Amino acid sequence: MSVLFVDVEAMSRWISDRGAERILVELAKAIESDFVRWQAFDKTPRLAAHSPDGVIELMPTSDGNQYGFKYVNGHPKNPERGYQTVTAFGVLADVHSGYPTMLAEMTILTALRTAATSAMAARHLARRGSRVMSLIGCGAQAEFQALAFKAVLGIDSFRFWDTDPDAMDKFERNSQRLGLKATRVADPLDVTDGADVITTCTADKTNAIVLRDDSVAHGVHINAIGGDCPGKTELDPHTLQRASVFVEYTPQTRVEGEIQNQPEDFPVTELWSVVQGVHPGRRDDREITVFDSVGFAIEDFSALRYLASQVAGSSYATTIDLVAEPSDPKDLFGLTVLRGRSLVTLGARGV
């Protein structure tokens, strides 16, 4: 049976042709529309296999008609060995038959969906008229975040800093190519000056403080996306205590997010309730809001469905023969017969 397949080359070509900003705007709307129907989904924390080097995870969900999952890793030391920190692929399937319908590259798609989710959340939580964004961490996610906040929120000025000068060089080059107004900051204590939105996205797998509490002014929205596994945080606990904290799925975030070291009764609000109008989100211009984002399966589901709707029947997708489909569903062994001779016979003869 043929299954829709989107590989790395096709994904890259699709983004280049359609335009990253357009995709980010459309993807943010697709994710938001699935948050509107949050209650329709099966929800479970991701299934994680941890090791000293990192983590490998499966992120499944279903809305009763379609099922989706993502395979993703997180290995902070990978860049030292010439590998990426995060890689991923995803699958969509038909619930009623159980057959897969699409297999897709998701390393790039995850970067898009993370940035789109961040910007969608900020549209509900940041102050209106926000224009300046600070980026702490200039790794693989930085450009996607900048483009998403420009396209969705109207951010027009960026300040950035990283412990790695090469990462700042890379972001600076790409910012120039993208026409972004980006200011390189030498001192990390200055990066948040004048910021309306602060994004933290670092890779070290430690309980670190990359954003000090005294650098967080009233009214700031913090997009905390780097603390995404047990033992890894980025914010000063005092900031969490004086902020309103919003999460995707509480049982997962309490294990992996910035709130992992807070008491079990530490108050948080799930973002879907803001999107649905159940909770007001930001209450005034002096409130500090934190989106404690660890990434959730529904966002990947949204991204896969959006991708499928865009590339099906186009040159950006092909098909692969992924599922065995005998003419008689009860005769799977019939597929093991080659040119009239069974594989068992061929094996016995040493062929």
Q: What residues are labeled active site?
A: 228
Whole-number Å distance between alpha carbons of 328 and 7: 31
Asked if 155 and 221 count as a contact pair (C-beta separation under 8 A), the reply is no
Whole-number Å distance between alpha carbons of 41 and 294: 18
Nearest alpha carbon to residue 218 among 185, 240, 242: 242
Asked if 3 and 319 count as a contact pair (C-beta separation under 8 A), the reply is yes
Amino acid (one-letter) located at 47: L
Q: Give, in order, the Cα–Cα distances in Å from 31 to each of 26, 38, 222.
A: 9, 10, 20
The DSSP result for 235-298, as a single string, is: E-HHHHHTSEEEES-HHHHHHHSGGGGS-TT---EEHHHHHTTSS----STT--EEEE----HH
Sign of the torsion formed by the C-alpha atoms of 300, 250, 141 and 151? positive
The DSSP result for 74-137, as a single string, is: E-TTGGGGT--S--EEEEEEETTT--EEEEEE-HHHHHHHHHHHHHHHHHHHSPTT--EEEEE-
Whole-number Å distance between alpha carbons of 258 and 229: 9
Rg (CA), the chain: 22
Whole-number Å distance between alpha carbons of 342 and 154: 64
Residue 207 CB coordination number (10 Å): 14
3-state secondary structure of 337: strand
Residue 310 CB coordination number (10 Å): 16
